[in-house]
């Protein structure tokens, strides 16, 4: 269509990985569906054919978008911008350059480390944000760039970092981030999609990382509120589309072209009609369909679930236990007891599944070595109680995430030793351990709690994001003024000491880099959930007269 917005939607990885991201597919489909948008896709290894013709200005693009779901992909954004000849830093872009926008869980939680590269950040659900964002851009596209940015900043849930300025004290402590004038909202609120249906694949291809899979989102968010969990706290409320009106038609649509179905969501088995969905998929007409589900809550694993998944081609099931220690699970609000974990393993095996993957964490607040020993003990007990089931433990280090109660907790250095402890105990017993590198968790924490002073570090990391050493060298080079971060805004003071951002336990009245961005729950509620959890986890001395009663477990 003449006058269509020319857009590129980029993914910070290869085509196979990007096209397997349901979030990316859905944003792309929302852009492609609009007659007034001409969109092409860009991956690190391929791209759709360029737009035909050129309007002879800048890159010829009006819009460049990126969806980010992993902190460590930040530097790839800069490679993608360079590839399109778009100036890296927002303040270097002129009237002829596109609006560079980002979205996805990482940017919705804390966009500040990447803020100087982005013109706009869409906070929340794309279904809700994109139509208003695109309408606003269409309406202001002819205006000079500063006016375009101001117009976009008036759209609910759209954050324009250049119009918000951080304040620091003399020591470089962040005091707050304020709008440049009173015409802008002081707080930008995350937007929530409350429509009847959720998403499903719009592209089914044998070249995807999960070849030819049709993905259907069964639930959004999770009502469990585990105190560290971004997938729950950042995306509330828990949403469950109707089985008959929404999920069944979505499944049928995909199964017209493939026989591979993936049921996705933070906690799919908590859909109130999940048992009915399973029962429906048990019918003979789905006999040649392979069904897989993402991680499920252990307490919801039934013999029926094991049986139907095994019959439909799944070999294993994934449950997150977080820890084998009852104390740790209670502290993080996991609401899962040991018997339920053992029962889940039994049901999986009795149903015909051959493997069970468990996810755990080390380095949780107040954790002691004995809690990690309890995780090893639980795995050993499971092996004995449910012989014949292949057990795998995926384990990562706790990383604080913005907008969760544990955002104020730091990464605990003891975690590195505790990962080794688990390996020493479990590997000789034939239990497969898949630990996530402690070093990468440290970098993740730096980005998840950092502010925009990290942007020059991210710029200096470019080209070496695959190596931990590359990140460390970049940080040192920026601190010592040796990094080549050409074009970086000159008014950013040095980043705070990296150890502090990663490891320190922060007081809950400390100003946070994301305080001006409102998530689903108020800060006071998060602080209360954190206080209750930590109070529960603290070792109790013998009660004596006048001492407060022992705190009750968090709810």
Which residues are near ligand SF4 by CB under 6 A? 222, 224-226, 229, 231-232, 266-267, 297, 320
Task: Report the candidate in 216, 224, 221 with the shortest Cα–Cα distance to residue 197.
Answer: 216
Give me the least distance between CB of 334 and ligand SF4, in Å please.
7
Could you tell me if 341 and 378 are in contact, meaning their C-beta atoms sit under 8 angstroms apart?
Answer: yes
- State the minimum distance, in angstroms, from the CB of residue 522 to ligand SF4: 18
- Min CB(271)–ligand SF4 separation in Å: 13
Instruction: Let me know: does 227 contact 240? Beta carbons within 8 Å.
Output: no
Smaller CB separation from ligand SF4, 335 or 503: 335
Distance CA 460, CA 470 (A): 9
Phi and psi torsions of 544, nearest 5°: -140, 170
Q: Which residue, 285 or 555, is less far from ligand SF4 as judged by CB? A: 555
> Which lies closer to ligand SF4 via its Cβ, residue 199 or residue 232?
232
DSSP string over 191-218 = B----S---B-S---TTSSSTTEEEEE-
CB of 224 to ligand SF4, least distance (A): 4
Nearer to ligand SF4, 231 or 309 (CB): 231
Tokens encoding 425: 């105990």
* Whole-number Å distance between alpha carbons of 445 and 187: 24
Name the minimum Å distance from CB 439 to ligand SF4. 23
Q: Which CB, 198 or 488, lies closer to ligand SF4?
A: 198
By residue count, the chain amounts to: 555
Q: Is the CB of 222 or the CB of 447 nearer to ligand SF4?
A: 222
Do the Cβ atoms of 35 and 27 come closer than 8 Å? no
For residue 397, what is the enclosing H or E element? strand 390-397
**Minimum CB–partner distance for residue 464 and ligand SF4 (Å):** 32
- For 241-300, the three-class secondary structure string (H helix, E strand, C coil) is CCHHHHHHHHHHHHHCCCCEEEEECCCHHHCCCHHHHHHHHCCHHHCCCEEEECCECHHH
Nearer to ligand SF4, 229 or 458 (CB): 229
Of 297 and 425, which has the nearer Cβ to ligand SF4? 297
Q: Contact 73/117 with Cβ under 8 angstroms?
A: no
Cβ 99 vs Cβ 137: under 8 Å: yes
Nearest to 461 by CA among 447, 445, 448, 441: 447
Q: Running DSSP on this structure, what letter comes out for residue 239?
A: B
Minimal distance, residue 214 CB to ligand SF4, in Å: 23
Q: Which residues sit opposite 37 in a β-bridge? A: 5
Q: Among 448, 442, 409, 445, which Cα is nearest to 529's?
A: 409
* Cβ-based nearer residue to ligand SF4, 162 or 344: 344
For the CB of residue 229, give the shortest distance to ligand SF4 in the complex, in Å.
3
CA separation for the pair 381, 278 (Å, rounded):
30
In the bound complex, what is the minimum distance in angstroms from residue 223's beta carbon to ligand SF4? 7
């Amino acid at each position: 269509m003449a006058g269509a917005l020319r857009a590129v939607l980029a993914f910070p990885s290869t085509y196979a990985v990007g096209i397997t991201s349901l979030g990316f597919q859905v944003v792309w489909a929302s852009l492609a569906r609009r007659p007034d948008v001409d969109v092409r896709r860009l991956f690190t290894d391929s791209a759709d054919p360029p737009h035909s013709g050129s309007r002879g200005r800048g890159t010829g693009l009006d819009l460049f978008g990126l969806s980010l779901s992993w902190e460590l992909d930040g530097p790839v954004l800069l490679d993608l911008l360079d590839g399109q000849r778009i100036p890296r830093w927002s303040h270097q872009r002129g009237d002829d350059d596109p609006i560079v926008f980002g979205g996805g869980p990482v940017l919705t939680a804390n966009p500040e480390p990447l803020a100087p590269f982005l013109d706009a950040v869409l906070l929340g659900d794309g279904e809700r944000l994109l139509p208003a964002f695109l309408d606003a851009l269409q309406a202001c596209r002819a205006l000079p760039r500063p006016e375009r940015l101001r117009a976009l900043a008036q759209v609910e849930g759209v954050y324009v970092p250049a119009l918000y300025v951080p304040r620091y004290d003399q020591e470089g402590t962040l005091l707050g981030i304020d709008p440049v004038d009173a015409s802008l909202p002081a707080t930008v609120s995350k937007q929530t999609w409350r429509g009847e249906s959720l998403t499903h694949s719009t592209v089914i291809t044998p070249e995807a990382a999960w070849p030819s899979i049709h993905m259907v989102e069964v639930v959004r968010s999770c009502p469990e509120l585990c105190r560290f969990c971004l997938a729950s706290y950042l995306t509330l409320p828990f949403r469950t589309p109707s089985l008959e009106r929404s999920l069944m038609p979505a499944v049928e649509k995909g199964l017209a072209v493939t026989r591979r179905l993936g049921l996705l969501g933070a906690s799919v088995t908590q859909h109130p009609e999940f048992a009915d969905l399973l029962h429906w998929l048990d019918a003979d007409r789905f006999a040649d369909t392979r069904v897989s589900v993402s991680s499920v809550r252990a307490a919801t694993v039934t013999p029926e679930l094991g049986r139907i998944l095994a019959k439909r081609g799944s070999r294993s099931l994934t449950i997150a236990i977080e820890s084998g220690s009852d104390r740790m699970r209670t502290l993080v609000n996991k609401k899962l007891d040991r018997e339920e974990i053992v029962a889940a393993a039994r049901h999986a095996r009795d149903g015909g599944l051959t493997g069970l993957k468990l996810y755990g964490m080390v380095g949780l607040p107040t954790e002691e070595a004995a809690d990690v020993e309890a995780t090893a003990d639980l795995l050993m007990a499971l092996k004995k109680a449910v012989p014949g089931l292949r057990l795998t433990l995926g384990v990562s280090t706790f990383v604080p995430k913005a907008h969760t109660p544990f955002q104020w907790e730091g990464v605990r250095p003891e975690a590195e030793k505790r990962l080794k402890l688990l390996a020493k105990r479990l590997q000789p017993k034939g239990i497969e351990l898949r630990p996530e590198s402690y070093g990468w968790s440290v970098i993740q924490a730096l980005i998840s709690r950092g502010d925009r002073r990290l942007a020059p570090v991210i710029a200096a990391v470019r080209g070496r994001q695959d190596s931990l050493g590359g990140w460390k060298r970049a940080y040192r080079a920026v601190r010592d003024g040796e990094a080549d971060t050409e074009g970086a805004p000159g008014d950013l003071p040095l980043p705070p000491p990296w150890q502090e951002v990663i490891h320190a336990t922060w007081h809950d009245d400390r100003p946070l880099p994301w305080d001006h961005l409102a998530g689903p729950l108020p800060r006071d509620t998060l602080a209360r959930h954190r206080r209750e959890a930590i109070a529960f986890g603290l070792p109790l001395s013998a009660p004596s007269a006048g001492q407060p009663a022992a705190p009750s477990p968090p709810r």
